[in-house]
Amino acid sequence: MSRATEIDVSILLVSYNTRALTCAALDSVRRETHEVRYEIIAIDNASSDGSAEAIADHPSRPRCMALESNIGFARANNLAAAGARGSYLLLLNPDTEVRNGAIDTLVRFARSRPEALIWGGRTVFADGTLNPSSCWARMTPWNLLCRATGLTGLLPGTELFNGEAYGGWDRDSVRKVDIVSGCFFLVERELWEELGGFDPSFFMYGEETDFCLRARALGARPVITPEATILHHGGASEATRAGKMIKLLAAKVTLVRRHWSPALVSAGVALLALWPLSRWLSLAAAAAVTSRAPLREMAAA
């Protein structure tokens, strides 16, 4: 029997100091996945909270590799995928919980839309409200201009001014998208191998955007379905908001330099620099007028 027929989907999970959340994620996979044959391959990025030991002892019986240093999200997923046996790879964040058979549903959806090659679902917060980060549109000069000038913040519910986040769309319909988020990311293993997985120059953030854009050049047309819904807390492995934003903006600069035309790169980098500057100015001004501590904290971040 070939390795592709033994396992339908290889679930790849990268953890970093998220022990309790990771165990909850594994519990949910075991509880909610019954139709597809799956394996779990976990990489622990040198956690200090006992994550590796907890994963290795979990009843879902994942294959777990405990690393001695944090090699980042992209490289860790590449390492996990190297030993995968499934026809599909499913990247699943450790701060997620599978609901209502979402993995079974997503694989079923993928089989009904094989031409897409990359598939995703809908994500919600713990209170059931929409977490819009399951998918994104590619960055454009207009999107960055709207973000830098504050138009996105003022009018987040319109796709015209919040195009990168598909503003106004509740992820409640099947739709082709540019980018599927790495928190719940299903891809054909053959496509993953053809593209060499994630580019390891991305430490965290941006790797799935780069992958999807490269995949689109080979004919992939990523698509999401609202029928496959998971809970995604978001940002659990980041100690501070500032740390997250630094990594995110660094990744966006790399994406601009790699995927934009040379004539637009300088403008794109300048707009990315203007984004936190304009946000700081507006928050600092609001904090000075209102003396509200949360605004001061957000400005400091």
Instruction: Output the 3-class SS for 195-206.
Output: HCCCCCCCCCCC
Cβ neighbours, 10 Å, residue 144: 24
pLDDT of 279:
82
Backbone angles phi, psi at 89, to 5 degrees: -110, 135
Q: Are strands 63-66 and 38-44 parallel, antiparallel or unpaired?
A: parallel
CATH class of the domain comprising 3-237: alpha beta
- Tell me which DSSP letter residue 137 carries: P
Cα 81 to Cα 91: distance, rounded to the nearest angstrom: 9
Cα 225 to Cα 211: distance, rounded to the nearest angstrom: 20
Q: Give the CA dihedral 96, 19, 209, 192, nearest 10 degrees.
A: -90
pLDDT of 50:
95
pLDDT of 48:
96
Query: Residue 99 burial by CB count (10 A; 0-12/13-18/19+): exposed, middle or buried?
Result: middle
Cα 183 to Cα 89: distance, rounded to the nearest angstrom: 12
Cα 159 to Cα 261: distance, rounded to the nearest angstrom: 24
Cα 10 to Cα 161: distance, rounded to the nearest angstrom: 38
Alpha helices (runs of H) in 83-206, residue ranges in sequence order? 102-112, 141-149, 151-154, 189-195
Q: Give me the residues of the chain with pLDDT under 50, please.
A: 1-5
pLDDT of 165:
96
pLDDT of 225:
98
- Tell me which DSSP letter residue 49 carries: S
Cα 257 to Cα 264: distance, rounded to the nearest angstrom: 9
Q: How many residues does the chain have?
A: 301
Cα 51 to Cα 151: distance, rounded to the nearest angstrom: 41
pLDDT of 236:
59
pLDDT of 4:
42
Cα 40 to Cα 54: distance, rounded to the nearest angstrom: 14
Query: Residue 90 burial by CB count (10 A; 0-12/13-18/19+): exposed, middle or buried?
Result: buried
pLDDT of 235:
64
pLDDT of 239:
61
Backbone angles phi, psi at 261, to 5 degrees: -65, 145
